[in-house]
Amino acid sequence: MKKFLLIIFTMCFCLAFSQKRTTVLGETTLGVTSKFSEKYSADFAFRSRYFLYQYHTWDYNQQQIDFYHFSNFHLNDKHIVSLGIYYRNRDFFDTGSGEIRITEKYNFVNQRSRLRYRHKLRLEQRFLKTLTIYRERYLFEVGLPLKGNTFDVGESYFTSSLEGLLSLSPHIKSIVSMRTNAKIAWKITKKLKLQTGLEYRLEAFNRKAYNVLFLLTSAFIKL
């Protein structure tokens, strides 16, 4: 499974740079999770996104900053439903429209032997300045420890996912996109996890497709 997912991601990586309409961005995230009870937890995150390669030139330019919150309701060990609010600021950097987003999310997580599977379904209402977009997203993810059989403290593990997105609005033609990523995470302590990886996005491939490659870095803290 790990070799198969790595082959798929490598093919997408090569495809991205074989296309003329390719942009490379970096994305850095700091997330904090607090568990208030067995049934309820809350996530808060700050994220910075910046251009690294654009118009055939390597250069750093800030694109946006994001803040978001999710309230998570744990039905049991495998099923989680969440309600989130998201704020994006691009106006400050003159790179596009700001956005407020409401998200409903369902997660199903299961583990078999060394493999951990995750299905995630999202419904999003994206409120931009002149447009409202309704987006549906489905993600399938597989994770496995790089050593041993469990996701223990002090060890690293690999995850890879494939996600499909459908964006609908009364004012624009529907947009279909695809995302795939591969990440390595280190569980430093019970309360700190570091993660890095790559994400490839094929955006609007039912219209005029363009490619985006992300370099991902993140830190997650449990309170």
The tens digit of pLDDT for each residue in 165-222 reads: 999 999 889 999 999 998 999 989 989 999 999 999 999 989 888 889 999 999 999 9
Amino acid (one-letter) located at 223: L
What was the pLDDT predicted at 9? 56
Look over the chain and give the mean of its residue pLDDT values, rounded to a whole number.
Answer: 89
* pLDDT band per the 50, 70, 90 thresholds, residue 152: confident
**CA angle 189–190–194, rounded 5-degree value:** 55
67 pLDDT more than 70: yes
The structure tokens listed for 166 are 């459908």
Q: By three-state DSSP, how is residue 162 classified?
A: strand
Cα 104 from Cα 127, distance rounded (Å): 15
Is a pLDDT exceeding 70 seen at residue 5? no
Q: List pLDDT tens digits, range 73-103.
A: 999 989 999 999 999 999 999 999 999 999 9
- Longest Cα separation, the chain: 52
Domains contained in the chain, CATH given = 2-222 (2.40.160.40)
Distance (Å, whole) CA 179 – CA 166: 12
Query: For residues 124 and 127, what is the distance between their CA atoms, to the nearest angstrom?
Result: 10
Which region among 14-23, 37-46, 111-120 has the lowest average model confidence (pLDDT)?
14-23
> Which tops the pLDDT comparison, 108 or 8?
108
Convert the pLDDT of each residue in 37-56 to its tens digit.
Answer: 999 999 999 999 999 988 77
Average pLDDT on 160-164 reads: 94
Per-residue model confidence (pLDDT) at position 211: 87
Q: Average of pLDDT values for 117-125?
A: 97
